[in-house]
Structure 1
Amino acid sequence: MAHQSWFWVVASFSFLIWSEAVGGEFYSSVDRMQDLAQVEQELLNATRLYLEQQQQQLELYIRYVEQIKEEHEWAMEQAHLDEYLGHPLHAFRLIKRLVQDWDAVVFEPIVANEPKEEFRQFLEAVTTDLGYPNHLELQGAVKGLARLQNVYNLSTSHLAEGEIGGYIYDSVLEWRECYEIGVQLFDLGDYRRSLEWLQEAFTLLRRNPEEDEEQHARYMSDIREYAALANFEVGNPKKAENLLNRILEPLPNHTAQQTLKYLENREPGKNLKEKTHSWSANYTRLCQGRRLSEESTGHPLKCFLDGKRHAYYTLAPLQVEPVHLDPDINVYHGMLNSEQILSIFEEADKLEMIRSAVAGTEGARTVKDLRVSQQTWLNYTSPVMGSISRIIQFVSGLDIAGAEWMQVANYGVGGQYEPHPDYFEVNLPKDFLGDRISTSMFYLSDVEQGGYTVFTKLNLFLPPVKGALVMWHNLHRSLDVDVRTLHAGCPVIVGSKRIGNIWMHSGYQEFRRPCNLTSDSYKSLAYRDSV
């Protein structure tokens, strides 16, 4: 009993640790996925303890039964049963066993099964209090894998074998996992990609057949049936029919019979190409680290040290990497050290991370797959955030009074933010005094693969560099929006991408960045309809 109580105390302590992390959307943040890893570790520990307790109880039952068995065997060897029971002590022991021992040692523990009840309570607490992942979480992770394939041209077979972006990892997928991905993609309506994963599952299963031939045949039939449905949806009804007939030849009573009748009464899907956005080609190219060829301007951009921006940088000049001129986009390296970044994470951990949303009409914000990450907001009251506010003021020359709180974001499985502007232009939130005049984005982590920041209209990509700051203006000096600043956060292939965004508003910058006498918005007109 003491052991069981200790088990429940450990479980309760774990609940207190994670009580603030209740909620879904685990797949949209690697940090939240770490919470899931802790949950699974607790499940592993609790299950192991439960099995050990059950094993101990089972061994007790076995010892007791063996003891009674030996008593009976001895009685039959020494004398007849009536002579054995004629002895008063033997008779007493038999009655005592039936009145007390069997109940106390076997029946009551089996019926009560306290370890089982405590384990049930633990599972109930995990699934309700900790925001246990559901079917939508699985679909979100699968969509992330498909997104990586679409953007980085990753083949299904290479991905299943653990080869990602030219690197080979230890993690490989079994046929069951490939089959599950195919099924989920089918349910999501991505029939072409579903077929690729179903084919991979079929290949792996055929290469490593199940020991049970009947089970193996059933699994092969299940894959063929889903592949038939997917083929029908992409406009290949004949192939769908052939696949179903191959199932029915050896198994005439298989459910494929009903599937075949169902498809006979439906119109097959149309073999249409997927719709793509005008920016799609540039987006995927830049995310892969490839630029379009450009004519040389004759003035190559060079890194330099800037000690004149502000007196604060006189002794330790800014390390400036200009990556684009007109509009000016600069990367400032070494702006935050690891200790400062850790302090930012500690501040963020005190708050609840929520799924990132996108702006809609009339200031409404909605969750969409074009932005897959989680975020929280930090004010400038803590020491580390106070130092960051000074950095932004000194580097940008703008007034921090016109700044939103720092948005700390973390990207999850295939996490991304499709091409978007940071300015609002219309439907400006009521609490904004002016539009977002500038963006200051800190990279708070390196990323092993992927996760570039790309500017689709400027033929520019930037790999994340921990501690660096990227800064640009979203508005012209005339305060017209600069459409050339359309940018995106590419999907993270491997690793965790963490950033901190600070947006300054134009309403406080009249004397910091005054308007010119003539409008300069003409500079971006040629880009408005370009890709």
Structure 2
Amino acid sequence: MSPRSWYLVYGIFLHVIWSGAAKVEFYSSVDSMQDLAQVEQELLNATRSYLETQQQQLNFYRRYVDQIKREHEWAVGQLKLDEYLGHPLHAFRLIKRLVQDWDALIFEPILTNQPREDFRQFSDVLTRDLGYPDQSELQGAIKGLARLQRVYNLSTSDLAGGVINGFSYDSELQWPMANFELGNTKRAGRLLNQILKPEPTHTAQQTRKYLENHEPGKKIQEKNPSWYGNYTRLCQGKRLPEESSGSPLKCYLDGKRHAYFTLAPLQVEPVHLDPDISVYHGMLNSQQILSIFEEADKEEMVRSAVAGEGGKRTVRDLRVSQQTWLDYTTPIMESVSRIIQFVSGFDMAGAEHMQVANYGVGGQYEPHPDYFEVNLPSQFEGDRISTSMFYLSDVEQGGYTVFTKLNVFLPPVKGALVMWHNLHRSLDVDVRTLHAGCPVIVGSKRIGNIWMHSGYQEFRRPCNLTSDSYKSAAYRKSV
């Protein structure tokens, strides 16, 4: 393999191994997609180098053949062939060419084609060793597009054309392919004709060959669950009309919760009462968030799973993201631990490690509770009494956090913290806290979750004299 090829392979190998991309899928995380884009850039560079080398060889072959052709024409046109061959130098050159030159300069390079072998080794490293995407990745991305189409009522033609909520994000060459994969084969054919009719040699002819040899995607027909209507409505930023329950909620500053906030009071945005859901703005700055990402980069990102029967965790399409876990031993995570302790009032001895998650193409988490209620993991000291979720990025479009039973939606705001209780003071589960992460339309959603367990909080959030369990029982009867 040529030095350049080895350099490219080695560079990709280090990049992918350090980032962990070879061990995870790509479409379920925008961060992993960035690794994949780097792989494609290296592939582009290697292919360009290969084509340049091949062109140089072809130019050499062409010059050599032209030279021999001219000599043959001169020998036949200007002299008789026997006169030409009668010259000892001409005879020597003819024999030398047939014995050595044609073999060394033409046959061997063409048959061995070392640049091609270098390129094959390079591609083998990509496809075999470095986690090159396969058909399942394409299907995952297609499912993501179909999910966006369903949740946000996007037309197939707009989505396939890269137009989302009036903004165009795509190029014309992608339109036929996207329509095809979304099941709109007729429109895909029309778009291809529009491109190829004025310019038959356009690269879209390769797209046509692909479409002619592949089955189109199928439009997904599903029976929607009972929560789906509220879910999609809230994801689109729409609430159901509801009667006023008193004075409207207002933002306020809170400098009395803990001495830590005396000089820099909490910026509190209450979004729901009973159960209490509050957004605390400006809890992390950009440098702190960057430090969290640097710590997360040191860990392996894996596809997010959901708890199933017997507490076993499985990968399912209802949750499309990647995640890793961070303990509180580093300076930045010690700071995060203090923030959660001072805001919540809970003992961090009952806190799980921080889960850092990133959402990919159509990334989402369908409505779910954070409590377990049953099948509690053996290492837990009590159920998850509260959720503290940091937004670690803004999201250009989509990606809201919605509470489907409470008529609440929250757009991600970088640096903000959302907090709520999953259990009543009686430690019964609060079924009203069912929530979801809406599909990301455009952008990258990054969050950090910290769940607190009830086992250490007896004196931090004691039960009332009167049990509040009736709230859950009453709510269950009303739905």
TM-score (norm 1): 0.84
CA RMSD of aligned residues (A): 2.4
1:340 and 2:288 correspond? yes
- CA separation in 1, counterparts of 2:294 and 2:28? 20
Give the distance between the partners of 1:30 and 1:122, measured in 2 at CA.
25
Write out per-residue CA displacement over residues 337-396 of structure 1, whole angstroms, 9 at most, x where no aligned residue: 111111111111111111101001111001111101010101111111110001000100
Q: Tell me which of 442, 456, 459 is aligned to 2:390.
A: 442
Aligned to 1:395: 343
CA distance, structure 2, for counterparts of residue 503 and residue 350 of structure 1: 22
User: What percentage of aligned pairs have identical amino acids?
Assistant: 74
Is there any run of 5+ residues in structure 1 with no aligned partner, and where?
A: 183-193, 235-272
Per-residue deviation, 1:107 = 1.0
Matches within 5 A, 1:162-241: 162-172=162-172, 174=174, 176-178=176-178, 180-182=180-182, 194=183, 197-205=184-192, 207=194
Report the CA distance between 1:295 and its aligned residue: 1.2
Is 2:137 aligned against 1:150?
Answer: no
1:93 corresponds to: 93
Residue 173 of structure 1, CA deviation:
5.8
Which residue in 1 is equivalent to 2:8?
10
Change in Cα spacing, 1:6 to 1:162, as seen in structure 2 (3 Å) is closer
What are the superposed Cα offsets for residues 470-496 of structure 1, whole Å, 9 maximum, x if unpaired?
000000111000111100000000000
Structure 2 match to 1:255: none
1:105-124 aligned within 5 A: 105-124=105-124
Instruction: Give the length in aligned residue pairs.
Output: 469
- SS of aligned partner of 2:158: helix
Partner of 1:428: 376
Which amino acid is the alignment partner of residue 227 of structure 2? W
Is the CA contact 1:419–1:486 (under 8 Å) kept in the aligned structure 2?
yes
- TM-aligned CA deviation for residue 201 of structure 1: 2.1
Separation of aligned partners in 1, 2:243 and 2:95: 102
1:178 offset after TM fit, Å?
3.5
Q: Judge conservation of contact 2:160–2:179 (CA < 8 Å) in 1.
A: no
Question: Do structure 1's residue 36 and structure 2's residue 23 form an aligned pair?
Answer: no
Query: Which amino acid counterpart does residue 16 of structure 1 have in structure 2?
Result: L
Separation in structure 1 between the aligned mates of residue 173 and residue 153 of structure 2, nearest angstrom: 18
Question: One-letter code of the match for 2:6?
Answer: W
Residue type of the alignment partner of 2:4: W
Q: 1:9 deviation in Å?
A: 2.0
Q: How many Å apart are 1:499 and its aligned residue?
A: 0.3
Q: Is residue 176–residue 189 contact of structure 2 (8 Å, CA) maintained in 1? A: no
Matched position secondary structure for 1:28 = coil
SS in 1 for 2:56: helix
**What is residue 408 of structure 2 aligned with on the other side?**
460
Structure-2 separation of matches of 1:133 and 1:27: 9
Give the aligned residue type for 1:200.
R
1:476 corresponds to which residue? Answer: 424
CA distance in 2, matches of 1:320, 1:53: 63
**1:226/1:87 CA distance change after superposition, 3 Å:** closer
2:385 aligned counterpart, secondary structure? strand
Show the counterpart of 2:265: 317
**Matches of 1:529 and 1:32 in 2, distance apart?**
44
Look up the match of 1:330: 278
Q: 1:255-404 maps to which residues of 2 (within 5 A)?
A: 274-404=222-352
Deviation by residue 1:483-528 (Cα, 9 ceiling, x = unmatched): 1110000000000000000000000111111111221021233333
Once residues 73 and 81 of structure 1 are traced to their aligned partners in structure 2, the CA distance between those partners, rounded to angstroms, is: 10
Question: Which 4+ residue blocks in structure 1 deviate beyond 4 angstroms?
Answer: 172-175, 205-212
For residue 521 of structure 1, what is the amino acid of its counterpart?
A: S
Q: How high is the TM-score relative to the length of structure 2?
A: 0.93
Q: Name the CA shift for 1:118/1:207 in 2 (closer, same or farther; >3 Å).
A: closer
Structure 2 matches for 1:407-422, cutoff 5 A?
A: 407-422=355-370
Q: Which residue of structure 2 lines up, in the alignment, with residue 81 of structure 1?
A: 81
**Do the aligned partners of residues 169 and 322 (structure 1) sit closer, same or farther apart at CA in structure 2, a change above 3 Å counting?**
same
C-alpha separation between the residues in 1 aligned to 2:107 and 2:477? 79
How many Å separate the matches in 1 of 2:450 and 2:234? 24
Q: Greater relative contact order: 1 or 2 (C-alpha under 8 angstroms, separation 6 or more)?
A: 2
CA deviations 1:200-223 (Å, max 9, x no partner) are 3244346556578xx99xx79x89
In 2 relative to 1, CA 487–529 (structure 1 residues): closer, same or farther, beyond 3 Å? farther
Residue of structure 2 in register with 1:48 after alignment: 48
Structure 1 distance, partners of 2:270, 2:218, is 49
Q: Which residue of 2 aligns with 1:126?
A: 126
